[in-house]
Amino acid sequence: MSTAKALEAITDRGQFELLATAILREQSREYRAVVHLGVNSSGETIKSPVDGFVLVPDSVPPHFVIFQCTTTEPNQLERKWLHDRNATKPSGTRSRTENGDLIKAGAKAEECRKKFPGAKFTVVLGTNKCIDQPLMDAVYDKAQQLKITCDIWEQSRFVHELDNTPNGQWLRRNFLGITAQLLSAELLRYICRESSSMYCAKLFDSSGNWVSRDVDRIGVELTNDRGITTNVLIGESGSGKSVTAYKMLSSHLDSGGFGLWIPSEVVESGLSLNDAIRAVLDSLHPGLGPDVSANALKLAAGFNSRLLLVIDDLNQTRNPTDNLQKVLAWANAATAGKKSQQPETRPLLTCPVWPQHWNSLAEARRTSDWIKVTRIGLFSEEESFLPIPL
């Protein structure tokens, strides 16, 4: 089903209001702060003269924005928007039908003008249906009479945002069930959470008895150190390297960052770091395009964050030293681009390694200032005791 057909098929006014408001908030600073009044916390419509309202922060003169959304059929839209029950009929009677959305918005504007005489007003009329030119002309004429600006958002404008912008495609996925093909920050966050959950499921049956360790704090500190590209966690089997790596990833995501688990088989088959990132993203959300790796790095940088990549478990591969060498080569290539004029997009690679594999890489251990080595040993005495539940 096309986006237009799926949008038009929405009959639940509350669902459409939520979708329309989410799209409109992305359009401008003036719309971003609107307070949604027409839907409660359960997504059900509630009685309100207007669906959304805001006095734009710091606007001079005061600028009020009013949202009105509807799923009314096209042949009823004129009445829905323009009906004025106070207009006198030829017989001298008045209609009992409630005022149209634009008329109600105009009344709200008149109410506000009593306190803000010089205020400006914008009324956004949103519909999931197509409209014709005569209705547009009638709406603009009435808006001029009411001394307000009208911004009509009909089906084609909503469809354009839903089909052609990353955030729109994320909303399209959530509201209409149509797969996103552009990577947005919200979609990347969703994929990162899925990746983290898969990593956790591979490592543990439960996280209920994890013990906090001093080494856990190192990961948080490293994500803010732009000079470090690789964090090597060195320890014997069973020392807790993977637990530390997972906690690092989980904490980074909880703080608003972005991160992925890259399994060892991805490293073995990948030719570059971009290949590895793309392989993980494609496995969790296919169809995001050939530039998805670069887009993910740029999105992370746009949030003043780093894409944290936990590469585990190279120790169990057929050629762990060769694979570790490959990862370090990837990191070295990323480090070499640190003076680029582009925004900071270098990821942080974290890799649990057994001592014997690391010891075989003498050159990397001696010359690489962009590598942070974290040694993980036995639990300290304090770390060895679990708190007793009360």
Note the pLDDT tens digit of each residue in 145-176: 999 999 999 999 999 999 999 999 999 999 99
3-state secondary structure of 190: helix
Residues 6+ apart with CB under 8 A from 156: 4, 130
Q: What's the confidence (pLDDT) of residue 212?
A: 63
Burial of 127 from C-beta contacts in 10 A (0-12 / 13-18 / 19+): buried
Does 390 score more than 60 pLDDT?
A: no
CB atoms within 10 A of CB 263: 20
Helix (H) or strand (E) holding 63: strand 63-70
Contact status, residue 309 vs residue 258, Cβ threshold 8 Å: no
pLDDT class for 360, splitting at 50, 70, 90?
A: confident
What's the whole-number average pLDDT of the chain?
86
Q: What's the confidence (pLDDT) of residue 153?
A: 97
Q: Determine the Cα–Cα distance for residues 41 and 339; give it in Å rounded to an integer.
A: 48
Instruction: Tell me the mean pLDDT in the region 64-90.
Output: 89
Share of the chain above pLDDT 70, in %: 84
pLDDT in tens, 226-264: 677 888 999 988 878 888 899 999 989 998 999 999 999
Q: Determine the Cα–Cα distance for residues 324 and 326; give it in Å rounded to an integer.
A: 5
Nearest to 293 by CA among 302, 305, 280, 283: 280
pLDDT in tens, 17-53: 999 999 999 988 899 999 988 777 777 777 788 899 9
Q: Could you tell me where the DSSP H helices lie in the chain?
A: 3-8, 13-25, 29-32, 77-82, 101-113, 133-145, 155-164, 166-176, 185-203, 216-223, 241-254, 264-269, 273-284, 292-302, 320-336, 355-359, 362-367
Does 178 score more than 80 pLDDT?
A: yes
Choice between 390 and 245, residue whose per-residue pLDDT is larger: 245
Burial of 378 from C-beta contacts in 10 A (0-12 / 13-18 / 19+): exposed
Does 382 score more than 60 pLDDT?
A: no
Distance between terminal CA atoms of the chain? Answer: 56
Choice between 379 and 351, residue whose per-residue pLDDT is larger: 351
Sheet bearing 371-375, strands edge to edge: 258-262, 307-311, 348-353, 230-234, 371-375
Share of the chain above pLDDT 90, in %: 59
> What's the gap between Cα 357 and its chain centre?
38
Q: Is the dihedral of CA 179, 183, 186, 192 positive or negative?
A: positive
Q: What's the confidence (pLDDT) of residue 364?
A: 58
Which of 78-92, 228-242, 330-344 is predicted with the least confidence, judged by mean pLDDT?
330-344
Q: Which domains does the chain have, with CATH numbers?
A: 3-176 (3.40.1350), 185-375 (3.40.50)
3-state secondary structure of 208: coil
CB atoms within 10 A of CB 322: 13
